[in-house]
């Protein structure tokens, strides 16, 4: 019996705000919402893509889901991504692994596969937090950033993406020109594995996974050409946006949380929890954000040797 083919389920993510640069808040004027696409339309599109582009060996191994399973997955995935329960996110490991294999096999699937691979990393790490005893923090940094020790261990075993070497000089120059520490360019590893063409099903693109509205706000064109795929221009835009977020929240962990979950979500959570630092609100942020912030900080530390607490603030 072929296994359930789940890669095209990623098309459902256009209804899910994965990247929080533009958080869908009804009360926030000017913030972009995900496009309204019916599940029936998404189902028909996914089925068509599967029939047209899936290799015969993939069709032999996987079956396209029924409408009922499609809709059920969409709802549960939305809850897992935006919910605060790491265990709920961890439960999607089998589906995510199967989807990644299928995307790598599909023509044109690599742009989405790089996005999914990063989310699978969050899922696996979330699973580790629910299965293994939590070690007590051994440093001030680990006490300040939940799950930092886990991500330090994971990143220490990981090779640098092959694309990084050719891109780093220009990216570092761009960040420094905008008054940001050059070390922060390693955000691109977490966002896109240094793939300028990477895209998410929700509409984010490029090395730094800009959503259209934020890209335009930061001075990027998103249509003919889409400057989000231009490494230097997107690096300048990402640096400007991070600088803006750092000015709002006062430190890099909170700025990174806002980059992922949206500044509105972070500000409201700080107010609700009467929080001051990331650790005060981490458990009340989306599960993805709970994994994203320590992963970015651990990536910077591993690749540069600079502890995140030693990162300079944004200069004017």
In order of start, what are the domains of the chain with their CATH numbers? 3-310 (1.10.530.10)
What's the CA gap between 45 and 47, in Å, rounded?
5
Q: Are 287 and 261 in contact (CB under 8 A)?
A: no
pLDDT (mean) for 277-304: 96
Phi then psi for residue 16, to 5 deg, are -120, 125
Do 141 and 308 meet the contact criterion of CB atoms below 8 Å apart?
yes
pLDDT at 183: 97
Calculate the CA 101 to chain-centre distance.
19
pLDDT (mean) for 112-121: 85
Contact 23, 261 (CB under 8 A): yes
- Both tokens of 253, joined, read 């962990």
Q: Can you give the pTM of this predicted structure?
A: 0.79
Two tokens at 314? 């944004």
Q: What was the pLDDT predicted at 178?
A: 96
Residue 157: how many other CB atoms lie within 10 Å = 7
311 pLDDT tier (thresholds 50, 70, 90): confident
Largest Cα separation within the chain, whole Å, is 61
63: helix, coil or strand? strand
Q: Which residues are bridge partners to 222 per DSSP?
A: 226
**pLDDT band per the 50, 70, 90 thresholds, residue 116:** confident
Q: What is the mean pLDDT of the chain?
A: 80
Mapped onto helix, strand or coil, the DSSP state of residue 270 is: helix
In the structure, what pLDDT confidence band is assigned to residue 76 with cuts at 50, 70 and 90?
Answer: low
Class of residue 224 by CB neighbours under 10 A (exposed 0-12, middle 13-18, buried 19+): exposed
- Residue 159, pLDDT > 50, answer yes
Tens-place pLDDT, residues 242-280: 999 999 999 999 999 999 999 999 999 999 999 999 999
Tokens of 210: 């800009």
247 φ, ψ (degrees, to nearest 5): -65, -35
Mean pLDDT, range 153-164, rounded to an integer: 94
**Within 13 Å of residue 58, how many CA atoms lie on the same side as its CB?**
22
Q: Where are the beta strands (DSSP E) in 135-220?
A: none
pLDDT at 282: 96
Question: What's the pLDDT at 11?
Answer: 40
H or E stretch at 247: helix 231-249
Mean per-residue pLDDT for 65-84?
Answer: 65
CA 216 to chain CA centroid, nearest Å: 19
Instruction: Grade residue 144 by pLDDT with cuts at 50, 70 and 90.
Output: confident
Tokens standing for residue 4? 């359930």
DSSP 284: G
- 219-237 pLDDT, tens digit per residue, is 999 988 999 999 999 999 9
Does residue 214 surpass a pLDDT of 50? yes
Region of 265 on the Ramachandran plot (φ > 0 left; ψ -120 to 50 alpha; else beta)? alpha
Whole-number Å distance between alpha carbons of 208 and 187: 7
CA–centroid distance for 26 within its chain:
22
- pLDDT tens by residue, 12-70: 333 333 345 544 333 332 333 334 444 455 566 667 767 776 677 767 766 666 666 65
Higher local confidence (pLDDT), 19 or 288: 288
Q: Which residues are catalytic?
A: 191
């Amino acid at each position: 019996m072929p296994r359930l083919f789940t890669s095209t389920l990623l098309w459902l993510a256009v209804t899910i705000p994965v990247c929080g640069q533009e958080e869908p808040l009804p009360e926030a004027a000017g913030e972009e919402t995900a496009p309204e696409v019916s599940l029936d339309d998404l189902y028909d599109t996914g089925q068509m893509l599967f029939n047209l582009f899936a290799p015969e060996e993939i069709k032999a191994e996987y079956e396209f889901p029924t409408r009922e399973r499609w809709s059920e997955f969409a709802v549960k995935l939305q809850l897992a991504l935006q919910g605060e329960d790491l265990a709920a996110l961890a439960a999607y490991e089998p589906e995510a692994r199967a989807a990644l294999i299928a995307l790598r096999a599909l023509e044109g699937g690599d742009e989405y596969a790089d996005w999914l691979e990063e989310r699978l990393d969050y899922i696996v790490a979330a699973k580790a937090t629910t299965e293994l005893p939590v070690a007590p923090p051994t440093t001030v940094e680990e006490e300040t950033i939940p799950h930092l020790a886990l991500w330090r261990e994971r990143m220490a075993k990981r090779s640098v993406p092959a694309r990084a070497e050719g891109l780093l000089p220009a990216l570092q120059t761009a960040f420094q020109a905008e008054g940001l520490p050059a070390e922060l360019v390693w955000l691109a590893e977490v966002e896109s594995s240094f793939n300028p063409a990477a895209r998410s099903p929700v509409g984010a693109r490029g090395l730094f996974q800009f959503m259209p509205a934020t890209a335009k706000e930061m001075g990027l064109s998103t249509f003919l050409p889409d400057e989000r795929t231009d490494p230097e221009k997107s690096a300048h835009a990402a640096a400007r946006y991070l600088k803006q977020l750092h000015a709002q929240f006062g430190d890099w962990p909170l700025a990174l949380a806002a980059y992922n979950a949206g500044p509105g979500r972070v500000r409201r959570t700080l107010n609700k929890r009467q929080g001051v630092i990331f650790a005060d609100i981490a458990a009340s942020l989306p599960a993805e954000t709970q994994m994203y912030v320590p992963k970015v900080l651990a990536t910077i530390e591993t690749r540069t040797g600079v502890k995140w607490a030693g990162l300079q603030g944004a200069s004017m």
